[in-house]
């Protein structure tokens, strides 16, 4: 969906590389595979993202670090935004929703909980029609901002675009050292479209 709108590389959990067909396709499209829970590997991944951004490519990250059914936002991890800060590339938050033809939110594509990939595909195929909508928000300048501030701003922009509350599952904050450790140790997937680093 995102790649159809604008060519970009993606950051994905390393397990995807082993998925039939999908893993092969991902490896052929500049996907950066992240081994979650490894601080050392996160540094390697950030170096790969940095190289892609320096080469003028866009990188998509999914800062919640996991999938949801789209009815709420989880906290955004900022670790994978560091390369954008270091290269001075802006961050383009993009909200992605799936809807029925009459504009109602569709939960069919929700790959969450105990749902298997096969079950998810089955739910999608069972629908007569699903409308995917990309809603970009204003790009965020990375000048004089740290990754945590940018993660907070990106989450707020996406929540506003989707009409979702920010009260539940707040993003990590600078005065929460536990959140900082979790973010650095588990910098899961994230989102980065547009001529910048999307969030």
* Domain containing residue 7: 2-95+135-185
Residue 114 lies in a domain: no
| Whole-number pLDDT of residue 188 | 35
Residue 165 lies in a domain: yes
| Whole-number pLDDT of residue 160 | 93
What is the count of structural domains for the chain? 1
Q: What is the DSSP letter of 188?
A: -
How many other CB atoms are there within 10 angstroms of residue 70's CB atom? 19
Residue 117 lies in a domain: no
0.75 exceeded by the pTM?
no
| Whole-number pLDDT of residue 37 | 66
Mean pLDDT per block of 10 residues along the chain (199 residues) reads: 81 82 79 77 87 92 83 88 94 91 83 79 84 92 95 95 72 40 36 44
Residue 26 lies in a domain: yes
Supply the DSSP string of 12-63, one letter for each residue.
EEGGGGGSTTHHHHHHTTTPEEE-TT-HHHHHHHHHHHHHHHHTT--EE--T
| Whole-number pLDDT of residue 180 | 38
Residue 38 lies in a domain: yes
Residue 14 lies in a domain: yes
Residue 126 lies in a domain: no
Residue 163 lies in a domain: yes
| Whole-number pLDDT of residue 198 | 55
| Whole-number pLDDT of residue 83 | 94
């Amino acid at each position: 969906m995102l790649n159809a709108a604008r060519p970009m590389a993606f950051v994905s959990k390393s397990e995807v590389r082993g998925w039939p067909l999908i893993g092969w396709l991902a490896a052929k499209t500049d996907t950066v595979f992240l081994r979650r829970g490894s601080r050392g590997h996160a540094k390697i991944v950030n170096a790969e993202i940095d190289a892609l951004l320096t080469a003028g490519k866009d990188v998509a990250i999914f800062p919640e670090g996991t999938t949801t059914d789209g009815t709420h936002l989880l906290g955004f991890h900022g670790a994978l935004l560091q390369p954008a800060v270091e290269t001075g590339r802006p961050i383009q938050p993009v909200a992605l929703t799936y809807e029925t033809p009459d504009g109602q939110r569709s939960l069919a594509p929700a790959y969450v909980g105990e749902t298997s990939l096969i079950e998810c595909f089955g739910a999608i195929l069972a629908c007569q029609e699903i409308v995917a909508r990309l809603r970009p928000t204003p790009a965020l300048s990375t000048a004089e901002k740290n990754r945590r501030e940018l993660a907070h701003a990106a989450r707020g922009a996406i929540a506003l675009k989707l009409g979702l509350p920010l009260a539940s599952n707040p993003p990590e904050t600078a005065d929460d050292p536990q959140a900082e450790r979790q973010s650095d140790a588990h910098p899961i997937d994230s989102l980065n479209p547009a001529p910048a680093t999307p969030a």
